[in-house]
């Protein structure tokens, strides 16, 4: 018995197929060097169909960027909702979660890097990222402050700690393109934590 899907569900699935094909190819080839025809082929549809679901190549890129961002955002904005406990524990868990997220969403992260590298080309998307960063700074602020009060974290401006943490997250993706052993992620987590406070004991 084949599953009965409503027309709307079918459309949603096809749209999503195209979107995923686009994420893959945009991340590999960049905006300019990705051809709509290739996306269509990857998605298994005719390239006319791409334009049925997305107004233009540009609009598709925006969707590719914005839609996954919403999901990722929750792990960066609603920190105290996702991670509970002592500040040190919260930060540890958060870093674990983010590092795992970044290691899994490899392709999507390249899209982010592309946008970061071209602020003038993608101003709308770039501003979304700025908002994202600022939202994270605001959101992580009480956690760091609490940690500082308890003497766990460095007495730095919380925004500096937040930004340097985002830097290392982003930078790792650039610097460790090929490596992806779970081992490594564990170690990286430890190094990221050291931007918050001195962690001398191993493990």
Partner DNA sequence: TATGAATGAGTGTTCATTCAT
Partner DNA sequence: GATGAATGAACACTCATTCAT
Interacting partner of 103 out of a copy of itself, DNA, none (Cβ under 5 to 8 A depending on kind): none
Measured between alpha carbons, how far is 171 from 175 in angstroms, rounded to an integer?
6
Binding mask 139-158 for a copy of itself (x = CB under 8 A): ---------------xxxx-
7 is a contact residue toward DNA (CB under 7 A): yes
Tokens of 155: 């007495």
Nearer to a copy of itself, 17 or 29 (CB): 29
Quick one: which of 119, 134, 149, 180 contacts a copy of itself (CB under 8 A)? 119
144 exposure class (CB count in 10 Å sphere: 0-12, 13-18, 19+): buried
Measured between alpha carbons, how far is 34 from 57 in angstroms, rounded to an integer?
9
Quick one: which of 5, 9, 12, 32 contacts a copy of itself (CB under 8 A)? 32
Interacting partner of 127 out of a copy of itself, DNA, none (Cβ under 5 to 8 A depending on kind): none
Measured between alpha carbons, how far is 173 from 109 in angstroms, rounded to an integer?
8
Quick one: which of 45, 146, 184, 199 contacts DNA (CB under 7 A)? 45
Q: How far is the CB of 6 from DNA (least distance, A)?
A: 9
Binding mask 46-65 for DNA (x = CB under 7 A): xxxx-xxx--xxx-------
Nearer to a copy of itself, 84 or 202 (CB): 202
Contacts 24+ apart (CB under 8 A), 97-101: 98/169, 99/169, 99/185, 99/188, 99/189, 99/192, 100/185, 101/72, 101/75
Interacting partner of 48 out of a copy of itself, DNA, none (Cβ under 5 to 8 A depending on kind): DNA
Measured between alpha carbons, how far is 91 from 43 in angstroms, rounded to an integer?
39
């Amino acid at each position: 018995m084949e599953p009965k899907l409503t027309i709307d569900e079918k459309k949603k699935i096809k749209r999503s197929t195209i979107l995923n094909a686009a994420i893959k190819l945009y991340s590999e080839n960049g905006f300019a060097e990705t051809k709509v025809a290739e996306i269509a082929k990857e998605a298994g549809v005719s390239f006319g169909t791409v334009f049925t679901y997305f107004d233009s190549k540009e609009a598709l890129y925006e969707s590719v960027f914005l839609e996954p961002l919403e999901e990722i955002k929750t792990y960066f904005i609603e920190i105290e909702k996702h991670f509970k406990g002592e500040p040190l524990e919260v930060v540890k868990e958060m870093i674990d979660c983010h590092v795992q997220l970044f290691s899994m969403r490899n392709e999507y992260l390249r899209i982010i890097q592309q946008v970061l590298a071209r602020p003038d080309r993608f101003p709308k998307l770039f501003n979304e990222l700025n908002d994202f960063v600022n939202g994270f700074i605001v959101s992580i602020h009480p956690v760091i402050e609490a940690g500082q009060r308890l003497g766990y974290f460095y007495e730095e401006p919380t925004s500096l700690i937040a930004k340097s943490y985002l830097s290392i997250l982003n930078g790792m993706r650039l610097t460790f393109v090929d490596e992806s052993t779970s081992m490594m992620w564990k170690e990286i987590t430890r190094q990221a934590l050291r931007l918050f406070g001195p962690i001398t004991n191993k493990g």
